[in-house]
Amino acid sequence: MHNIGNDIVDLNLAKTQSKWQRKGFLEKQFTQKEQEEIRDAENPFLKVWQFWSMKEAAYKCYTQKIEKRFFAPQKFECSLISKTEGFVLFKDHKYGTSTSFNPFYIHTIAKEENNEVVIFSKIGSSKKTHIDLKIQLAIETGVLSEEIIKIKTTVGAPLFYHKKKLLTKSCSISHHGNYGAFVFSLEK
């Protein structure tokens, strides 16, 4: 199975609720290499949340595969190829990432390396994410959105069905503050 993941960070909420500059925060969440990149960054705040969203998106890919949740952000190491493209290494897994920046949020999509999968994604209001996802699925599959049902896997990853037929290969939904996002790939 080719898994995809995504994560969105509401930057205004992160500014008010986050304590990323508190002693010990960076050391608990980020590798030594990442901490150095954060400290050297032109905008350390944005670098923290880019790395965080990369780690979260890759984590969602990995947990869909092993169907087990855990908390170990420091074990997922981020590397950037450009401002928006990068990858995350975890054990023997490599996840390619693509991050989009906006004055209001950061959004990252992750997928397994060498995974040529068509991904459908949308960012919008946190409250409308599930509705928008079903509408997009209906458009892509030709079934009625009201007939699409969501069933969560053991790790909470959503899969969407129409009359017991699986529609999505992989799906990831993310919410933070005022924003929600989803990515999915279709079952062929």
The stretches of the chain forming alpha helices (DSSP H) are: 11-17, 25-29, 32-40, 44-66, 129-141
The residue count for the chain:
188
CATH architecture of 4-186: Alpha-Beta Complex (3.90)
Q: What is the pLDDT of residues 128-179, one digit of tens each?
A: 888 888 999 999 899 999 999 999 888 888 889 999 999 988 888 999 999 9
Angle of the 32-40 helix axis to the 44-66 helix axis, nearest 10:
150
How is residue 74 written in tokens? 């420091």
**In the chain, what are the domain boundaries?**
4-186
AA letter at 48: V
Which residue has better confidence, 127 or 15?
15
User: Which of 24, 112, 6 is CA-nearest to residue 60?
Assistant: 6
Confidence label for 108 from pLDDT (cuts 50, 70 and 90): very high
Residue 167 CB: number of other CB atoms within 10 A? 19
Confidence (pTM): 0.90
